[in-house]
Chain A
C-alpha cells in the first residue's frame, strides 16, 4: 500500500555523516514545527494530549501538536487531501512526525491548526446551557453542514464530531469550529452515544472510515445534546446505549420524552435515522428548512410480543437479535443452528421472509462441518447477523469490525493475542467476502473480495515479508516501525528509515546483530509497495549468517539507490561487520584479502551498492568456485600420487634388486667377452 505524500523532513544532500551515538529524533517535525511540551492544551484534541506548536520556518503561531498513541496511528491520506481545505471552521492536519515528548522520549505528534478558543463543552462538565433553535441552526448546523459537505467533496469523513471537539472563539455568535479528528483511527475517540449502533458496537479502532452519513448522525446527536444541555444516556455503558438505540430507535432513545423545539426535533429525527440512506445529505442540511421537510418516514421495526433470550439478553426485534448474537456468538450460533431463531422469527416476530433466510444459513452451515466445528459456527453467525441487521458490521467470534478497520484494529490489539488471532482468522478465511455476500445490496461483495484476497495474500506470504506484521504495516500506512533498533529515532515512512539506521549505527549495543529484524523487514516490505518482497522474504530464511548479512546489504542497498539516499558510512560499517563472515565464502585467499580491503575502502564512502558488489560479485564468485573446484581436483591428484609414492617402497626395492642383478650379469658377460677376446688375440 503506497504511503501518502506527507510533508516530512527532506533528505539532506551532502558528504558522509559521522554516526551520532546519541541518536534522537529531529528537533523539528517536518523540519519546521517545534513542539512546546511545557505548554499543554487540555481538551484541545478530542481526548488526546495536545501541546502548543510553532512553525519555526515561517514564525506561524496558532498550531498545536497532538500526541499520537502508536497503538492508534493517525489517518493516512488526510494530509494532502486537506492541505488546501478552504473552510477555516475545521482544524486541518499539517504534518506528522516524532519529536522529544514531555518525558524526553521520542514521541509521535500530529501538527494541526489549534482551536481558536475553548471547547464548546468544557472539560469535565456534565451539562451546559441549552442552546436555542436559532443558535443551533446558525452557529452549529449550517457551518458544520458546510464543513462536512467540503469533506464529502474530498471523499473524507470527520468521525470525531461531538460537542467536546467543537470550539468557539471569543466573537459572540460566531460559528463553531470542528476539531481535530486525524490523530487516531476514524471514530476511535467517539463515545458510543455519538455513533450509530452499527459503528458503536465495534471496538474503537475497528470502526473504519464510515461515510459522511455517519458524520451527519454525530451532528444530529450533537444538535440534540446542545439542545438538551446534557449528553443523552450519560452514565450508561456502551452495550446498553446500543441496545436502547436498537430497540427504541436512535432519536427516541436519545431524546426520550424531552420536549424539543419542533424544528430541532424534526431535524434530529431525520439525522438520527437508523438507515444512513434515510439521513439528510450535507447539502440538504445547509438549508435546515428543506432538510426538515424531506424527513423520510422509516417503518418502525417489527417487535415481538414475546422476547427471545440470547445468553441472558432478552431481544424483541431482529436488529437487537443480531446484536445479541454478535455479542454472544456461541449461544447465538446454537440458537440459529438448532432452529430456535428462525422459529422465533417466524412464529413470534412474524417475519417469515427473514426466517426463511436464517433457515437457509442453517442449510449452508450443515454443509460446512459438524456440530462441533467452531469455524462453521462462526461463519453461521457472520451470515445470521448480516441477514438480521444488514447494517451491522462484520461479527466474527465476538469481534465486531468494519473491513476497513482491520488494520487499526490489529495494531490496537497488539497486546491481545486472542483478538489478533480472531482478526487473523477473518483475513485468512476471507470472512469479509462471506459477510458482504450475506449483506446483499448494502455493499459490493466483489470489491471486498479483491481486498480480502489481497490481505490474505499478504498474510500467507512466507518469510519476513508476510504474516501479521506485514498486515500491520500494509493496512496502517502511518504506523511507525516497531523495531527496537529504531527506538531512539522512530520512523513511519520509508524515506526516514535509512537516516534513522545511520543514526542507530553509532550504538555499540545494536551492532552485534544485523540491522534489519522481523518487524523492520515487514515495515520495508509494506512501505516499498511489495517491490522488495522476494528479497525481504529471504531475510527470514538464510542458509548461513553470512548469507543473511548479504541479504540485508542487498535490501538496504536497493533502498538507498531507489530513494536516492545520502551516503551511509555508519550503516555501511555496521553491515560490513555483520557481513564479514560472508567474506569467508571466497575460497581463494588472495581474492578474499583483496575483497576485505575493498570492503574496508567502500565503508567510508557509505555506498551500500558498492559494498554489496564487493561482497557479492556473482561473476567473480563463479570464477572463484570454478577455481576452487579445479584446485580440489588437483589436490586429489597430488594426494593420489603421494599415496602411490608412499606405497611404492616394496616395488622400488624389487626394481632395485632386479636392475642391480641384471647389471651385475651384464658386467659379468662383458668380463667373459673381454676374457675370450683377450685369450683369442692375446
Chain B
C-alpha cells in the first residue's frame, strides 16, 4: 500500500470497515438480493468509486434514483422466494436493469443540470441588482456632480458575462 493510499484509508476511518462488513454480511446472508442490487445499482457503485467530492452529492442523487428504480425488482425477488434463480430471472429481463440504470443516469443528469439552472437564475438576479444600483449611482452622480461609474462598477456590471 502506498503511503498516499494509506493516508486516504486512515482518513476514511472505521466507516469503511463497517461498510465492508455489512456488504460481506449481505453477500453471505442474502446473496440473491446482493446480486440483484449489485447489478441494478452498478452505476451507483461506479459513481461511488469516481465521486470523491465531499458529501458525495452526485452519489447521493444517483443512489436515490437507483433505489427508486430498484424497489419493484427487489420486492419481486423478496416476494418470489428470494432465490438465486429468481434473482437471475429478474436480471435476465433487460427492462429491470435498463430502468434502474436509466433512472440513475437521469439522477446524474439532474445533478449536472439543476446547478446550471440555479446559477443562471442567480446571475440573472445579480444582473438585475447591478442595473438597479448603477441607475441609482448615475442619478446621484448627475444630481451632485460626482464622478461617473468607475472601473469597479464596470467590472461588477461586466463580470456575469465574462466569467
Contact = CB atoms under 8 A, between A and B. Distances in A.
B140 A652 contact: no
B82 interface: no
Nearest to A662: B57
Given A641-B133, A649-B163, A631 B143 contact: yes
A652 B122 CA distance: 7
Interface string B139-163: 0111111100010110111011001
A482 B151 CA distance: 56
A675 B68 contact: yes
Interface stretch (B3-11, B33-41, B111-119): B111-119
Interface residues of B, number: 52
B134 interface: yes
B48 interface: no
B130 A645 contact: yes
A301 interface: no
Contacts of B150: 639
A623 to B, nearest CB: 13
How many interface residues does chain A have, given as a range? 35 or more
Contacts of A663: 110, 114, 118
B134 to A, nearest CB: 7
B50 interface: no
B96 interface: no
A324 to B, nearest CB: 73
Interface stretch (B24-32, B59-67, B84-92): B59-67
Interface string B96-128: 000000010001001101111111111100100
Nearest to B118: A656
A20 interface: no
Given A668-B60, A668-B107, A671-B65, A639 B72 contact: no
B137 A656 contact: no
Given A655-B122, A671-B65, A676-B71, A664 B156 contact: no
Given A635-B146, A652-B126, A679-B75, A659 B115 contact: yes
A669 to B, nearest CB: 5
Contacts of B68: 668, 671-672, 674-675
A658 B75 CA distance: 33
A58 interface: no
A656 B57 CA distance: 13
A668 B144 contact: no
B77 interface: no
Contacts of B156: 642-643, 645-646
B64 A672 contact: yes
A588 interface: yes
Nearest to B160: A649
A665 interface: yes
Given A589-B143, A638-B133, A671-B103, A660 B118 contact: yes
Contacts of A657: 115, 118-119
A665 B71 contact: no
B145 to A, nearest CB: 6
Interface string A576-612: 0000000000011110100000000000000000000
A646 B160 CA distance: 8
B99 to A, nearest CB: 11
A680 B116 CA distance: 35
Contacts of A642: 130, 133-134, 137, 152-153, 156-157
Contacts of B130: 642, 645
A588 B146 CA distance: 10
A2 interface: no
A631 B116 contact: no
Given A646-B152, A667-B110, A660 B115 contact: yes
A661 interface: yes
B119 A679 contact: no
A574 B140 CA distance: 33
Contacts of A659: 114-115, 118
Contacts of B115: 656-661
B116 to A, nearest CB: 7
A634 B136 CA distance: 10
A655 B110 CA distance: 16
Contacts of B144: 587-589, 627-628, 631-632
Contact of B114 (A632, A634, A660, A676): A660
A643 B155 CA distance: 8
A367 interface: no
Nearest to B114: A660
A300 interface: no
Interface in A52-86: none
Contacts of A649: 123, 159-160, 163
Nearest to A644: B156
Nearest to A632: B146
Given A638-B137, A652-B119, A646 B145 contact: no
A649 B69 CA distance: 37
A10 interface: no
13 contacts: A587-B145, A639-B150, A642-B152, A643-B156, A649-B163, A659-B118, A663-B118, A664-B110, A667-B110, A668-B60, A669-B64, A672-B67, A679-B72
Interface of A: 587-590, 592, 627-628, 631-632, 634-635, 638-639, 641-643, 645-646, 648-649, 652-653, 655-665, 667-669, 671-672, 674-676, 678-679
Given A656-B121, A657-B119, A668-B110, 7 more contacts: A646-B156, A652-B119, A660-B119, A664-B57, A671-B68, A672-B67, A679-B71
